[in-house]
Structures are given as structure tokens and as C-alpha cells.
Amino acid sequence: MATTYRIVSRGTDGEIRIRDFDTQDHLLKRHTQIGVDDCSTDLKLRGLPVFRGLIGPMPDGKATVRYETPEVFESLTKEWGVAKTTRRSRSRS
């Protein structure tokens, strides 16, 4: 199974930008590795690179590993936290 490495950032216009890399080598040419993930609860992520200025790795589907800039991580986490969940009412007999 091929793995895609995805970088999510925000452009100067404020829009979310997504850039996909086919291999770790292409990603390593553009970002500085500062370590490896050794504590993820998702065992598939252990051993993957950790990059300066990026949050991750985190899963993004079955074959995609995602990294986000701190600003994107913070804003998407806030959006996720305030999103209303619809609750289904139980039918009473």
C-alpha cells in the first residue's frame, strides 16, 4: 500500500493549502527533520519523521499521513471543538 504524505498550511490569502508528497524523500527535501515519532498511539505512525514547524504525523485516511502548520492545527482544532453534534433522541416505548 502506497503512503501519501500531506502538508496542510494556510496561504497568504487565508485559504487552506494542501500539498501531497508521494515519498518521504520528497518531503525530507522540503522540511527539516528534528526527530521521529516514538509515542503515537497509532502504531503505523511510530518511526515516521517529525519536522520543525509542523504538527504531526497524524493519520488522514488509510494511506495518508498528515502534517499541519501550528496555525492550521490550532484553527482546525478550535473549529472541531465548537462544532455542534446532533444528538438523536431515543424513542420511548
Residues 12-66 pLDDT 10s: 998 999 999 999 999 999 999 999 999 999 899 999 999 999 999 999 988 999 9
Residue 29 lies in a domain: yes
The structural domain count of the chain equals 1
Cβ burial of 49 (10 Å; 0-12, 13-18, 19+) is buried
Residue 54 lies in a domain: yes
Residue 66 lies in a domain: no
Q: What are phi and psi of 3, to 5 degrees?
A: -110, 135
**33-36 and 4-10 as β-strands: parallel, antiparallel, unpaired?**
unpaired
How many percent of the chain have pLDDT more than 70?
Answer: 87
Residue 75 lies in a domain: no
In this predicted model, what pLDDT tens digit does every residue of 3-27 receive, in sequence order? 899 999 999 998 999 999 999 999 9
Residue 40 lies in a domain: yes
Q: What pLDDT score does 16 carry?
A: 93
Residue 31 lies in a domain: yes
Residue 33 lies in a domain: yes
Print the domain residue range for 35: 21-59
**64-68 and 55-59 as β-strands: parallel, antiparallel, unpaired?**
antiparallel
For the entire predicted model, the pTM comes to 0.81
